[in-house]
Structure 1
Amino acid sequence: MVTELVLDRVSVRFSLPGVTVAAVNDVSLRVRPGECLALVGESGCGKTVLAHALLGFLPGNAQTAGTATMTGEGPPLDLLAASDAVLARTVRGRRVGLIPQSPATHLTPVRTARAQLEEAVRVHHPAETSPRDHAHRVAARAGLTPDDLDRYPHELSGGMAQRVANALALVGDPWLLIADEPTTGLDRDLVDGLIGEFRRMVDEGRAVLLITHDLAAAQRVADRIAVMYAGRIVEIGPAGRVLDAPRHRYSRGLVDALPDRAFTPIPGQPPLLTDLPAGCAFAPRCDQSAPVCAERPPLTTERPPPAGDPAGAGEDPVRAADDHAFACHLPC
């Protein structure tokens, strides 16, 4: 069976006193081995919430809908429906690795990097006779020396803590690595090294889900790009097509804001996730908005609609996301 992760209409809501936060809304996409998919968008658009939903890291006031089906080892597994015990035993660190935001704060402060890495080796490779040697091999992949591993988290620079987090995520040899804002605060050389490691993983047949607001980094490493706005995927497709010929006007705004492009900021602010409009959430910031934008646009492609569905209203969102798809009534 082919290993892949398919998200079909995934939504996440948080219940707070007197209000509901619609953090993720009807997200559909497919993650395949041998590719890097970059999930980009402004801070607060739901990227990290989506990653946490896949690994069962949501708080108790969260409700999920849709499916996130992983195939490849044993029967298909819906990550959203799986118990915490199943996720801990078969998914986290084994089939899916995570590089969290602010990695230094996720390291145990009273244990050296070596102790934490060797413990991860013993958990994921119980038959390993030399956890120390295994830890050294994984550390080398992340650009660490044995001496680096003898430091405590407070003795690590931001870049070094990032490398330790990378090594911990690689210990279990996961087929999918979720990297959440991994380039934040890193200098150019460290970013180059990190991007090189991601490309090596992809070349080895693994998958990388890169979560970032750094469109320049996504441009360098991604095979496909998904643009997220107000909890919803508004455009997804091959990186070259999304960046060079974006169809959604928010995607166009992100591209035009790059320093090597127009360097023009997007006016206005994203909507509150507690008060999303019924139609296109980007309409209040869009200089081309029209009355039709009061209706929510579906994620569609420019392919001919299926037979018997001339309006294309029944297009499968996962199938659409495999192509170059966008959710805009008045595309660029």
Structure 2
Amino acid sequence: MKSIKLSKKTEAVLQVEELSVSFVQYTKGLQQKNLRVISSLNIDIHPGEVLAVVGSSGSGKSLLAHAILGILPSNATVEGKISYKGETLTPKKQQQLRGQEIALVPQSVNYLDPLMRVGKQVRTSVKDADPIKAQREVFARYHLKPEVENLFPFQLSGGMARRVLVSTAVVSGAELIIADEPTPGMDTASVQEAIKCFRKLADDGAAVMLITHDIETALKIADRIAVFYAGTTVEVAPVKDFKGKGEELRHPYSKALWRALPQNDFIPIKGFQPLPSALPSGCLFEPRCNLATSHCSKVQPQARIIRNGMVRCIHAT
């Protein structure tokens, strides 16, 4: 099935259609099995847009980023289609674009080269400006003192290391920026500066994918929110729909996630997200859903466009 596209004035920079990611695993007796951790995942992102990807741990957010960049481990199998500017992202193309037109702000600070001073690492990402000037300006923006440029990664605190990673993406001039949980460990001022910078990058024409657990932070800068659950997209909605009691949202999980926030009703979601080895045969949220019927347990719902948003739920109106 082709992914459903929402109407946009510009062509998508990134188009992910029916993406599935499986990993080969060995059980007792060296029996081989394929563990599918992402299935039928669809998103798109356009120039000038911040798309926030939210969901609990294990929902497939970081794996999506790694699939786009072509940095999944060797035991992974990828199905479906990932396109960049209308061209299929082959492994060769991914290697050419990675760190150039597509930049990653990774979740782990281990992506920093432990043997290179951090100032030099940031300068290697500068393409169209004076590297030293660009690096020093971005460090000042993120409250990194001048002497930090001469430090090695092991000499940085966790928050400092994350600010260096954000700096690297900011100076790269990339057209697609994937920020995977970029702000944990930062102080409040640095968090605000970082998210403002991502918003400015989008306003200047870049496409920004912000992967985060923090819906509140996402709402401050995003244009749309993609809600992930158990390895698939259950809803993509405009930011304006995240308000009140969640009446404008389409999927029961999105509504439950919204109402579970402390500033809303603080109502916990019953049950647990299923493990990849024990996925339901029908709707992935069916075991936890108050609206579930017998039909919901049979087939995973197809993606539909409702009220200018995408949803996978037969009950959505």
Q: Assess if the C-alpha contact under 8 Å between 1:292 and 1:329 holds in 2.
A: no
1:203 correspondence with 2:189: no
Please say if residues 102 and 175 of structure 2, whose CA atoms lie closer than 8 Å, have aligned partners that are also in contact.
yes
Q: Are residue 8 (structure 1) and residue 8 (structure 2) matched? A: no
Within 5 Å, give how 1:242-321 maps onto structure 2.
242-243=242-243, 244=246, 245-294=248-297, 295-302=299-306
In the TM superposition, residue 282 of structure 1 has moved relative to its aligned partner by 0.8
2:4 paired residue number = none
CA shift in 2, pair 1:200/1:254, >3 Å:
same
SS of 1:147's equivalent? helix
1:198 and 1:185 mapped to 2: Cα distance?
A: 17
The CA deviation at 1:255 is 0.2
Q: Which moved more, 1:49-58 or 1:212-221?
A: 212-221
Once the two structures are TM-superposed, the CA of residue 140 in structure 1 deviates from its matched residue by: 4.2
1:320 matched residue in structure 2: none
Q: Secondary structure at the match of 2:41?
A: strand
Q: CA, structure 1 residues 2+256, in 2 after alignment: closer, same or farther (shift >3 Å)? A: closer
Verify: 1:223 aligned to 2:227, yes or no: no
Corresponding residue SS for 1:165: helix
Conserved 8 A contact 2:142-2:190: no
1:56 aligns with 2:41: no
Q: State the alpha-carbon separation in 2 of the partners of residues 266 and 292 from structure 1.
A: 22
Q: How many residues align?
A: 299
1:109 matched to which residue of 2?
114
Q: Distance in 2 between matches of 1:9 and 1:118?
A: 37
Letter in 2 for 1:21: L
Determine if contact 2:12/2:45 at 8 Å carries over to the other structure: no
Separation in 2, partners of 1:141, 1:2 = 32
Q: Kindly indicate whether residue 284 of structure 2 is the aligned counterpart of residue 326 of structure 1.
A: no
2:105 is the counterpart of 1:96: no
The aligned residue for residue 40 of structure 1 is 54
CA contact under 8 A between 2:143 and 2:190: conserved in structure 1? no
Match of 2:187 in 1: 187
Residue 132 of structure 2 is matched in structure 1 by: 132
Q: What is the deviation of 1:275?
A: 2.5
Does the CA-based 8 Å contact 1:236-1:242 persist in structure 2?
no
Q: Secondary structure, in 3 states, of the residue corresponding to 2:124?
A: helix
TM-score, normalisation: structure 2? 0.87
Unpaired segments ≥5 residues, structure 2: 1-9, 27-31
How has the CA–CA distance of structure 1 residues 67 and 93 changed in structure 2, closer, same or farther, with 3 Å as cutoff?
Answer: same
Q: Deviation string for 1:275-326 (max 9, x for gaps)? A: 21110111111122211211211111237xxxxxxxxxxxxxxxxxxx3121
2:87 maps to 1:77: yes
Unaligned runs of 5+ in 1: 304-322
C-alpha change, 1:331 and 1:87, in structure 2 (3 Å) is closer
1:87 aligns with 2:94: yes
Q: Give the Cα separation in 2 of the matches to 1:20 and 1:269.
A: 22
| Partner residue in 1 for 2:5 | none
List structure 1 runs of 4+ shifted beyond 4 angstroms.
Answer: 140-143
The offset of 1:203, in angstroms, is 1.4
Q: Which residue is equivalent to 1:306?
A: none
**Contact 2:166–2:182 (CA<8 Å) still a contact in 1?**
no
Return the letter of the residue paired with 1:53: A
Against the structure 1 CA distance between its residues 141 and 5, is the aligned structure 2 distance closer, same or farther, given a 3 Å change threshold? farther
- Kept in 2: contact 1:141–1:167 (CA 8 A): no
Q: 1:143 to 1:174 in 2, by over 3 A?
A: farther
Deviation at 1:199, TM superposition (A): 1.2
CA separation of 1:134 and 1:183: change in aligned 2, threshold 3 A: closer
Letter in 2 for 1:133: K
CA distance in 2, matches of 1:205, 1:141: 20
- Cα 1:204–1:142 change in 2 (3 A) is farther
Instruction: Write the distance in 1 (CA, Å) between the matches of 2:91 and 2:142.
Output: 31
Aligned amino acid, residue 327 of structure 1: R
Check whether the contact 2:159–2:184 (CA below 8 A) recurs between aligned residues. Answer: no
State how far apart, in whole Å, the 2-side matches of 1:101 and 1:273 are: 22
Separation in 2 of the partners of 1:11 and 1:157? Answer: 36
